[in-house]
Amino acid sequence: MGKTNYRFNPETLSYDKIERNIKSLVKRLLGYLSTSIVLAVIISMVFLQFFDSPKLRRMKRENERLLTQYTLMNKDLDNMSKVLKDIQYRDDNIYRVIFEAEPIPASVRKAGFGGVNRYSQLESMDNADLVISTARKLDVLTKQIYIQSKSYDDVMTMALNKEKMLASLPSIMPVSNKDLKRTASGWGYRIHPIYKIRKFHYGMDFSAPTGTEVFATGSGVVKWIRRSKIGFGNHILIDHGYGFETLYAHLSAFNVKPGQKVKRGDVIGFVGSTGTSTAPHLHYEVHKNGKKVNPQNYYFLDLSPQEYEKMIEISSNMGQSFD
């Protein structure tokens, strides 16, 4: 027999028997259930506020791991950048200098990426600054490495063609000059023999009798021969490739034709005094990448160090040119 419950009635000062029915039981049960749910929600909220769920803990650990990897990657990229800068320096100042090649412009090496924002899809990520910085460094390094690889392809090609290149360099004097007796006016400011004014002499003069043989100073192709009664007079321009050209002026006669291939030491013409000239001589110029340069720097197959110093002294003491 079930337990009977009573409730005190203050009006009658007696205990009334509590009648139980299904409705009251359901109502009480629902009350308990509602209270339990509310308490469970409150407890869950408090728990989540101070304690992480297993899934959240895993996500946080993964995020910390990724942040550590990005940080280490940034350090590695910085180290790679330093190594690449050293390689670029060697390329521009050693390898390309050896082969007389122009260095790669800094504007090409450090050119950025144009167009739309390449990193817009990363901006919504947590720690976006770190991620974008790493992505940008990686892109810059990738491009610079590509440019450097193409540069080394060029250097390799130049190395394979080294023999041909060395044969093409203008590296002897254009006339026979034993004891350097035919060395005349050199590179620099001189008094013009006709106008008697101070004028820059963009070449080197070799005094010699009319008809003296003139030699190609390096292998190449005759770009043109021209006849004139003024200026350089009868003159020849040879294209040696690799950015080099040589000019031979005031000739009395030619021994080559335009488009003809010549080798170093071939006789291409003869000394004269044509054009604006005061005496038989050869005016000789060396051009590098379209600019006139001092021919004295290119006689390394002809002269010993002592002869080179003597030639510089003789050409520098000449205060007047022949043209």
183 and 285 co-located in one domain: yes
| φ, ψ (nearest 5 deg) of residue 14 | -145, 170
pLDDT of residue 18: 65
Residue 93 carries which DSSP code? I
Regions of the chain short of the pLDDT cut 70: 1-9, 15-21, 24, 47-54, 56, 98-100, 111-128, 192-195, 197, 315-323
59 and 46 co-located in one domain: no
User: How far is Cα 159 from Cα 94, in angstroms, rounded to an integer?
Assistant: 13
Residue 92 carries which DSSP code? I
116 and 68 co-located in one domain: yes
pLDDT of residue 234: 96
User: Does residue 170 lie in a domain region?
Assistant: no
User: How far is Cα 257 from Cα 243, in angstroms, rounded to an integer?
Assistant: 21
pLDDT of residue 292: 94
User: Does residue 173 lie in a domain region?
Assistant: no
Global pTM? 0.55
Q: What range defines the domain where residue 217 resides?
A: 178-317
Place of tokens 């009798």: 209
Q: What Å distances lie between residue 80 and 63, 144, 163, CA to CA?
A: 25, 11, 35
pLDDT of residue 124: 65
Are the CB atoms for 268 and 225 separated by under 8 Å?
no
User: Does residue 284 lie in a domain region?
Assistant: yes
pLDDT of residue 215: 97
Total count of residues recorded for the chain: 323
Are the CB atoms for 257 and 226 separated by under 8 Å?
no
User: How far is Cα 213 from Cα 272, in angstroms, rounded to an integer?
Assistant: 10
User: How far is Cα 31 from Cα 232, in angstroms, rounded to an integer?
Assistant: 116
**Number of domains into which the chain is organized:** 3
Last residue of a domain, one of 94, 127, 160: 160
45 and 72 co-located in one domain: no
* Six token digits for residue 54: 């297993």
Q: What confidence tens digit (pLDDT) does each residue in 207-249 have?
A: 899 999 999 999 999 999 999 999 999 999 999 998 999 999 9
User: Does residue 167 lie in a domain region?
Assistant: no
224 and 107 co-located in one domain: no
What CATH number is associated with residue 248? Answer: 2.70.70.10
pLDDT of residue 71: 79
67 and 121 co-located in one domain: yes
